Structure 1
Amino acid sequence: MSKAEELAAVSMSFSPDKFPSRPELFDFHGVSMTHYFTDNWENIQNFQARPDDILIATYPKAGTTWVSYILDLLHFGQTERQTSVPIYNRVPFLEIIVPPLYSGKDLVDNLPTSPRLIKTHYPVQFVPKSFWEQNCRVVYLARNAKDNMVSYFHFDRMNMAQPEAGDWSSYIPRFIEGKLVFGSWYDHVNNWWKKKQTYPKLHYMFYEDLVQDTGQEIDKLCGFLGLSRSDEEKRRVTDGAHFDNMKKDDMANYSTNAIMDFKISPFMRKGKVGDWKNHFSVAQSEMFDEDYKKKMTDVTLQFRTEI
């Protein structure tokens, strides 16, 4: 039994109702975090990246699993791993540590694949320096703030390893103030955008573009990664990574993950652009937009809230 299979077996023996109480948020080097992402800090900072590692970076709930799944298919195709190993073990979450379930770093260290696909939600300043030293390729996926917040709200409701979501009206100011795990959405997307200007091996993508024309975004990814794939292969990736197909796939939809309560909400909910309109009142939307204008001053970074 591989390390990934062992960890999956341990995970399956857990359930959300057996999970410890939800973690508290605290300030960690200026970023709101919980202990699940800081307890292994020193080991993560000393992580040794390899030159062919690919880092997938996002603010939480910006389409991380989607782009991870696409990259996994592009690199390794439809193999037995796709039907037997959950995506969170194929593309490990580097900084997470949830004893006794798993350590993301251990999963990365035991990955049998090359290149290794590695996921992080870290703001850019927390990324282990070896990724930059080894000149690794980085794929960053950003999602418009309103839809990202809605998705994160539902995620916080159902994930026992996250602080309580509370009600929607109190969630909005917390998002605005960066009082959610991994801190401010505004700092996250802006600072990764700035990094792109000085680090040529960073491919910055937008969730809305991926929804609008998945095939075109896959073409761009292939160009960035130096992958030559036939039209037929790329079509298989596009079909396999369709939201409805992933939502039904137990190896992609996190239904095997012990820390999530699907009775509250599915991990993969809608995958749409513009669902924020079903959550924000007119007053909430106007208040949010006013604050947004003050924080998003870089005119070169533009988001779409509908397509």
Structure 2
Amino acid sequence: MAQVESETKGSSTNEPESNTEALIATLPTREGWSTPLTLYNNCWLRSHMLRRFMAVRDNFKPRRDDIILATHPKSGTTWLKALAFTISTRSRCDFTDSPLLTNNPQRVVPFIGAMGGDLDVLETLPSPRLLATHLPPSLLPPAVSTVGCRVVYLCREPKDAFVSRWHFDNKMGKGGAPITLDDAFNMFCEGVSPFGPFWDHYLQYWKESLARPQEVMFLKYEEIVSDPLTVVRKLASFLDVPFTEEEEKSGVVDQVVSFCSFESLRNLDVNKTGGAERAGGKIFIQHSSLFRKGKVGDWVNHMSNEMGEKMDRLVEEKFKGTGLEF
């Protein structure tokens, strides 16, 4: 894999297309999820998005005042986008005219290289930019860690993240056979899932947060669920837009939490209908599918005790000695 990594480092949109295609032809590919996955630099990526993600490392130009919301899939990405957007724009728009009332959070905060985040389009956005990614640090430009932009990372207890992944992929498929829980579980535990292995993804950002705590904030989904007010205050301070004493007294923090709550977002008309096609029409992401349950510990309603114990052993093994616990 080291040889593949050294070869892929130089790939960019300026490289002759034939060379890129030749490289892609050598990469491992797996079926099983709603779309095929390809292993690129030790990370499983959806094959239909591979070329775009390969271009990010060499062609995305981070700015010093960028804010990047990095998440492992199905860990509360939509929620984090809504919170960060509302916190950072509260001086320009209030809760009665927020773009979130008429736009899904996934559209308001573009993904780098995907879902409204074409690299050329991102260059035209005014600073400071609020962006998102599922890519691990190893697939982002090195400048992300040197220019001073801030990164907020969100992950989730792996068993709940897995169950959410399984449900989501089955909703994305158009006409294909459903993915069985057993098949999905085995792939997830092997590390074969979109942007997996999940343990590598978590640990890369965990290590970045330990090395650069002023620039990388590490959050767990469960923290937001258990104490949203504290997390929102910490997030505002980290984004350099702390709540003023006046805002605290007038209840703005509570308003942010309420406005961006799972129930509030799910009940907005824009999040009940519509969606977007992906992979040439092979999959369809419904806005409503982004708001399934959001419950901590829901895995017990789907996985057997044996599955839970196996996942716990895997997590203990992969995270042993790192200081990261679930």
CA displacement at 1:89 relative to structure 2: 2.4
Of 79, 83, 98, the residue aligned with 1:66 is 79
TM-score with structure 1 setting the length: 0.82
Deviations 1:210-239 (A, max 9, x none): 001100100111221221321222121101
CA displacement at 1:95 relative to structure 2: 2.8
CA displacement at 1:178 relative to structure 2: 1.1
- Which consecutive unaligned segments of at least 5 residues does structure 1 have? 1-20
Q: Is the CA contact (8 Å cut-off) linking 1:22 and 1:160 kept in structure 2?
A: yes
Of 11, 33, 38, the residue aligned with 1:26 is 38
Q: Is the CA contact (8 Å cut-off) linking 1:92 and 1:118 kept in structure 2?
A: yes
CA displacement at 1:290 relative to structure 2: 2.5
Count of residues paired in the alignment: 276
Deviations 1:240-287 (A, max 9, x none): 111001112244568433453559x72210011000010111222222
Is the counterpart of residue 289 in structure 1 residue 312 in structure 2? yes
Of 40, 48, 51, the residue aligned with 2:64 is 51
CA displacement at 1:159 relative to structure 2: 2.0
Change (3 A) 1:36 1:88: farther
Instruction: State the one-letter code of the partner of 1:31.
Output: C
Higher relative contact order (CA 8 A, sep 6+): 1
Q: Which residue in 2 is equivalent to 1:202?
A: 216
> Matched residues in 2 for 1:84 and 1:248: separation?
12
Q: Which residue in 2 is equivalent to 1:37?
A: 49
Instruction: State the one-letter code of the partner of 1:222.
Output: A
Is the counterpart of residue 166 in structure 1 residue 179 in structure 2? yes
Instruction: State the one-letter code of the partner of 2:297.
Output: G
- Which consecutive unaligned segments of at least 5 residues does structure 2 have? 1-32, 279-283
> Matched residues in 2 for 1:31 and 1:43: separation?
15
Which runs of structure 2 are paired with 1:47-196 in the superposition (5 Å)?
A: 47-77=60-90, 78=94, 79-96=97-114, 102-111=116-125, 114-160=127-173, 166-196=179-209
Alignment root-mean-square deviation, CA: 2.5
Is the counterpart of residue 266 in structure 1 residue 280 in structure 2? no
Deviations 1:103-133 (A, max 9, x none): 5434533445x42111101112111223223
Q: Is the CA contact (8 Å cut-off) linking 2:38 and 2:50 kept in structure 1?
A: no
Q: Which residue in 2 is equivalent to 1:238?
A: 257
TM-score with structure 2 setting the length: 0.77
> Matched residues in 2 for 1:281 and 1:178: separation?
20
> Matched residues in 2 for 1:75 and 1:253: separation?
25
Please give the secondary structure, in 2, of the residue aligned with 1:38: helix
Bigger Rg, structure 1 or 2: 2
Bigger Cα displacement from structure 2, 215-224 vs 287-296:
287-296
Please give the secondary structure, in 1, of the residue aligned with 2:196: coil
CA displacement at 1:155 relative to structure 2: 1.0
